[in-house]
Amino acid sequence: MKELRTEIDIDASAEHVWAALTDFAAFPEWNPFIRRIEGTLAVGSRLEVSLGASGTKPMTFRPTVLRVDPNRELRWLGRVGLPRIFDGEHIFEIEPRGPNRVRFVQRERFRGLFVPLLAKSLDRDARRGFEEMNRALLARLTGRPTATAKA
């Protein structure tokens, strides 16, 4: 197993962060990593997601939604091929830090036979994509164009 984790502090309420995170129709306007999501946000539903860090060709996959906890957590499981070939459990967490401040955590747990073969590109490209999205979310919610995302 391999896990990537990034986080960023945002001066906004958990409700505002959740609203931006789940407004899939607006993703093409602001999200440089997850460029498009279509589908119903409900446990057990399948989404169609197109993602890729800057400078990479986006890939499209159909993950299954595992958890929807409004203002707290969104989680899905995506697979390439059969189970245990290359599985990615993507997790978005919103951790309150005050009345109008949260820590936004984006992480993914990768499992499967191909993970060791893809570890370097995950560290390079997927991590960069997470950080790009985190900074773009911060900018969307606060108007601040840049910030440092912690890995």
Q: What is the mean pLDDT of the chain?
A: 89
In percent, the amount of the chain with pLDDT more than 70 equals: 89
In percent, the amount of the chain with pLDDT more than 90 equals: 64
Give the pLDDT score at 147.
46
User: What is the per-residue pLDDT across 117-139, written as a single tens digit (0 to 9) for each?
Assistant: 666 777 777 899 999 999 999 99
Residues in CB range of 121: below 8 A, 6 or more apart: none
- Residue 5's alpha-carbon distances to 15, 40, 47, 93, 142, in angstroms, are 22, 26, 22, 11, 22
Give the pLDDT score at 148.
47
Q: What mean pLDDT is predicted for residues 22-40?
A: 96
Sheet holding 87-98, edge to edge: 2-10, 101-111, 87-98, 73-79, 64-69
User: What is the per-residue pLDDT across 56-102, written as a single tens digit (0 to 9) for each?
Assistant: 889 899 999 999 999 999 999 988 776 677 788 999 999 999 889 99
CA distance 52 to 48: 14
Q: How far is CA 80 from the centre of its chain?
A: 17
Is-contact 60 50, C-beta < 8 A?
A: yes
Which CATH topology does 2-142 take? Alpha-D-Glucose-1,6-Bisphosphate; Chain A, domain 4 (3.30.530)
Length of the chain: 151
Give the global pTM: 0.89
Give the pLDDT score at 87.
84
